[in-house]
Amino acid sequence: MALSRAASSPSHGGLLKPLAAAISASFRRPISTDATPITVETSVPFTAHNCEAPSRTVETTAQELVGFFRIMALMRRMEIAADSLYKAKLIRGFCHLYDGQEAVAIGMEAAITKKDSIITAYRDHCTFLGRGGTLLEVFSELMGRQAGCSKGKGGSMHFYRKEAGFYGGHGIVGAQIPLGIGLAFAQKYKKDESVSFALYGDGAANQGQLFEALNMAALWDLPAILVCENNHYGMGTAEWRAAKSPAYYKRGDYVPGLKVDGMDALAVKQACKFAKEHALKNGPIILEMDTYRYHGHSMSDPGSTYRTRDEISGVRQERDPIERIRKLLLSLDLATEKELKDTEKEVRKEVDDAIAQAKESPMPDPSELFSNVYVKGYGAESFGADRKEVRAVLP
Amino acid sequence: MATTAARRFGRRLVPSVSRRRFSSSAAGDALQRTQNHPSLNLCSAINQALHIALDTDPRSYVFGEDVSFGGVFRCTLGLADQFGKARVFNTPLCEQGIVGFGIGLAAMGNRAVAEIQFADYIFPAFDQIVNEAAKFRYRSGNQFNCGGLTIRAPYGAVGHGGHYHSQSPEAFFCHVPGIKVVIPRSPSQAKGLLLSCIRDPNPIVFFEPKWLYRLAVEEVPEHDYMLPLSEAEVIREGVDITLVGWGAQLSIMEEACLDAEKDGISCELIDLKTLLPWDKETVEASVRKTGRLLISHEAPVTGGFGAEISASIVERCFLRLEAPVARICGLDTPFPLVFEPFYLPTKNKILDAIKSTVNY
Ligand SMILES: Cc1ncc(C[n+]2csc(CCOP(=O)(O)OP(=O)(O)O)c2C)c(N)n1
Ligand SMILES: [Mg+2]
């Protein structure tokens, strides 16, 4: 018998509240493996542009929710640890943290497979983790070590994971969007029912490249999902200061769009599932994820000069993606406070262990300065005492 | 030409700023000791120049990403408060649009000072600069131009900037007749050169050495003054070898000159200041005297502007050269993250090249 419980409180607009009475303990052991379907209603409805919005009733399981809690707690802890490492000067370069936006990364993953591709900008740590990357790879890359996902050559902004279709972190705002369209074109040829997710920010939405990409994607009916992670600021600029219409889901005009509560992992999952089906059948669609970043734009931005502390704490209290899942788990009696606290302790330790391990990883070999500029054995090769000279060789 | 512009806008060149006033070394040991001018860092000097530009010409505008808040480097701090949001304003994040807009604004006879947040992000605007700004005057038979356009962009290494906050793209722009490319080495230079650029009747790309924004401090005259474009400056006289550079690299080169001096080698150091069109005469005269030339820049050596200087000087001074021209530059790799010290043309690399060139 399917255990189905609708949980919603649309009139209060707050966190999810279960309608069903608490379920007895015997029903829910062991929590993390219980795959019985549960239905939950999103607290905010989807807003659609040029398409029929999907249902607010999302199907999930205890297993999935516990998993959401765990990985989001891990992401949160990871980003906070990265902050400390940066302040300790163990991480150099530019570093952009994702805490607050976790639900977008995990909700998206819950709806798609690793055959689907994802491409994003520089705020890429959690997207990488969502694609199956490890903490060791994250911290090693952040500290420029060999064990990093880009062998220590990329740093914070340049995480990649080819085997899981993660085309990575890109530094130039907006540049990754047309790349995502190219990925989608290739996928269409492969006919393997896979799609491409191209992520960009609200600031990036003002780059011309987005509109060029949208047109190509629509013209050729490509299975592309353009995900605008609207955290409401591009550096210090509030969305409304930079965009005549901050309704990013509508800005594709002839391309359908959906506005999604990006702080609700289940809403994100529902939207991405819907978008994937749509894209395979009809071509591109825009998903605007209404989300929020807690940290400043990058490590040099305290994040408090262009927005109020009240705004930040308000989001933390009312919309936090992890707290939302915690409350859901507790109210549905799928986990106890203690279990969740223990999970948080575990992820803390996992993060600490990974950092310790990453510190052991050596820096890249100096020869790596010259590798990967061109294909090895093809084209050009650097040589000379300081490798100043380049020799071209035909293969 | 710069001089025409300078005359038209009433050039007030301060003799005290034009010669042998080279500070901007990382330690901030200002060589400049003039009477009680306030000490400013390069960022404040830029701010002062923009302030004067806005104050002296009601048809001047300053815009770019987050510019009305002061910009990421705080160079435009306070300008919006003083001159209003109609003259100092934020643009959306769209470099191609920013430059194209600036060209249009300038074409109506205004002074458009556009900020590109980092030189690494100037490439989305490359087409506008190369095909629109540079050729507007030429292809309209002088009916139209965008001479009032100045594009400011911070460039160069900062120690740990990684791939996209460190690049030196000046050479790309030096291949484009119709624009000027200017790079200052110190606060007082930055102020005088930026004012000249803003008032020059040609579109200009002005690269600011961001490593020096806070590090370089020297006395900067408070009044409105301009420094000539397309005029190089001998900032250190010597007889054994000529060194040519620009921007932040000059302070590294100067350290190498000081070390070389201890070994009895006398180096002449030239700040090119304007890369396009550049002052061949000053460099040529120096090489005729020393017989040797070393060029140094942070950008990759292949296709860097050093190649152009080398070729021109070989053409002009072939029989006078006693050694091959040395180029100590960035390596032919993308700007690296963890290997920045290996990539950069450091003092020791320059010193080695000075010695091997002199002992050739
Ligand atoms: C072409 C380009 N211009 C400017 C920058 C500098 N920059 C980096 S991130 C950023 C703001 C982007 O905001 P948004 O797209 O909203 O993404 P978020 O940082 O909020 O995730 C800017 C201006 C850049 N990296 N590339
Ligand atoms: Mg944003």
**CATH number of the structural domain spanning residue B342:** 3.40.50.920
The predicted structure's pLDDT at residue A15: 44
Q: What CA–CA distance (Å, rounded) separates A131 from B283?
A: 56
Q: Domain boundary at B219, B247, B275, which?
A: B219
Is B161–A93 a contact, with Cβ atoms under 8 angstroms apart?
A: yes
| Ligand 1 nearest atom to the CA of residue A174, by list position | 1
Asked if residue A88 has pLDDT above 60, the reply is yes
- Continuous segment of H or E residues that includes residue B60: strand B60-64
- The residue of chain A nearest to residue B300, with distances taken between CA atoms, is A388
**A257-295 tens-digit pLDDT:** 999 999 999 999 999 999 999 999 999 999 999 999 999
Q: Are B31 and B22 a contacting pair, CB within 8 Å?
A: yes
Q: Does the annotation mark B163 as catalytic?
A: no
| Ligand 1 nearest atom to the CA of residue A171, by list position | 25
Q: What CA–CA distance (Å, rounded) separates A138 from A125?
A: 7
Q: What CA–CA distance (Å, rounded) separates B220 from B23?
A: 11
Asked if residue B87 has pLDDT above 50, the reply is yes
Residue B288 lies in a domain: yes
Q: Average pLDDT of A5-12?
A: 41
Residue B283 lies in a domain: yes
Q: Average pLDDT of A351-356?
A: 98
A35 compared with A239, residue with greater pLDDT: A239
On whether both B156 and B189 belong to a single domain, the answer is yes
Residue B226 lies in a domain: no
- The set of residues, in sequence order, having a beta carbon less than 8 Å from that of A190 and lying 6+ positions away, is none
Q: Measure B91 CA to nearest chain A CA, in Å.
A: 7
Asked if residue A101 has pLDDT above 70, the reply is yes
Asked if residue A10 has pLDDT above 80, the reply is no
Asked if residue B105 has pLDDT above 90, the reply is yes
The predicted structure's pLDDT at residue A370: 82
Cα(A233) to centroid(ligand 2), Å: 4
DSSP of B2-42 = HHHHHHHTT----HHHHSS-----TT-------SSPPEEEH
Q: Average pLDDT of B201-212?
A: 98
Residue B29 lies in a domain: yes
Which residues span the domain enclosing B302? 233-358
Q: Are B76 and B216 a contacting pair, CB within 8 Å?
A: no
Task: Show which residues on chain A lie within 8 Å of chain B, measured between beta carbons.
Answer: 92-94, 144, 152-155, 157-158, 171-174, 203-204, 206-209, 234-237, 241-243, 300, 305-306, 363-364, 366, 368-370, 373, 382, 386-388, 390
Say whether the peptide bond before residue A302 is cis (omega within 30 degrees of 0). no
CATH number at residue B28: 3.40.50.970
Percent of chain B with pLDDT strictly greater than 70: 90
On whether both B72 and B167 belong to a single domain, the answer is yes
The predicted structure's pLDDT at residue A65: 97
On whether both B121 and B206 belong to a single domain, the answer is yes
- The residue of chain A nearest to residue B338, with distances taken between CA atoms, is A144
Report every protein residue that has its C-beta within 5 angstroms of ion ligand 2. Answer: A 201-202, 231, 234
Q: Are B236 and B268 a contacting pair, CB within 8 Å?
A: yes
The predicted structure's pLDDT at residue A99: 98
On whether both B32 and B163 belong to a single domain, the answer is yes
β-partners of residue B274 are B182
Asked if residue B5 has pLDDT above 70, the reply is no
Asked if residue A22 has pLDDT above 80, the reply is no
Q: Does the annotation mark B165 as catalytic?
A: yes
Locate all alpha helices (DSSP H) within B88-178, ordered by sequence: 95-107, 126-127, 136-139, 170-173
On whether both B207 and B237 belong to a single domain, the answer is no
Residue B209: phi and psi, rounded to 5, are: -70, 100
On whether both B336 and B255 belong to a single domain, the answer is yes
On whether both B201 and B273 belong to a single domain, the answer is no
- Cβ of A203 closer than 6 Å to ligand 1, yes or no, is yes
Query: What confidence category does residue B302 fall into, taking pLDDT thresholds of 50, 70 and 90?
Result: very high
The predicted structure's pLDDT at residue B14: 36
The predicted structure's pLDDT at residue A374: 79
On whether both B246 and B163 belong to a single domain, the answer is no
On whether both B321 and B253 belong to a single domain, the answer is yes
Q: Domain boundary at B195, B219, B243, which?
A: B219
The predicted structure's pLDDT at residue A391: 61
Is B92–A243 a contact, with Cβ atoms under 8 angstroms apart?
A: yes
| Residues of A in Cβ contact (< 8 Å) with B69 | 236, 305-306
On whether both B167 and B284 belong to a single domain, the answer is no
Is B93–A174 a contact, with Cβ atoms under 8 angstroms apart?
A: yes
The predicted structure's pLDDT at residue B330: 94
Q: Domain boundary at B192, B219, B246, which?
A: B219
Query: What confidence category does residue A367 fall into, taking pLDDT thresholds of 50, 70 and 90?
Result: confident
What DSSP designation does B132 have?
I
The predicted structure's pLDDT at residue A159: 98
The predicted structure's pLDDT at residue A388: 56
**A138-153 tens-digit pLDDT:** 999 999 999 999 999 9
The predicted structure's pLDDT at residue A373: 84
Residue B224 lies in a domain: no
Q: Average pLDDT of B48-63?
A: 98
The predicted structure's pLDDT at residue B1: 35
| Ligand 1 nearest atom to the CA of residue A202, by list position | 16
Asked if residue A126 has pLDDT above 80, the reply is yes
Range name among A2-16, B131-145, B315-329 with the lowest pLDDT average: A2-16
A245 alpha carbon, distance to own chain's centre: 24
On whether both B239 and B215 belong to a single domain, the answer is no
Domain tally, chain B: 2
Q: What CA–CA distance (Å, rounded) separates B115 from B79?
A: 13
Asked if residue B15 has pLDDT above 50, the reply is no
Please give the mean pLDDT across all residues of chain B.
91
Residue B225 lies in a domain: no
| B90, B162, B165 member nearest A237 (Cβ) | B90
Residue B317 lies in a domain: yes
Residue B159 lies in a domain: yes
Q: Average pLDDT of A46-69?
A: 97
Q: Average pLDDT of B25-30?
A: 35
On whether both B130 and B262 belong to a single domain, the answer is no
Asked if residue A9 has pLDDT above 80, the reply is no
**A168-204 tens-digit pLDDT:** 999 999 999 999 999 999 999 999 999 999 999 999 9
Please give the mean pLDDT across all residues of chain A.
90
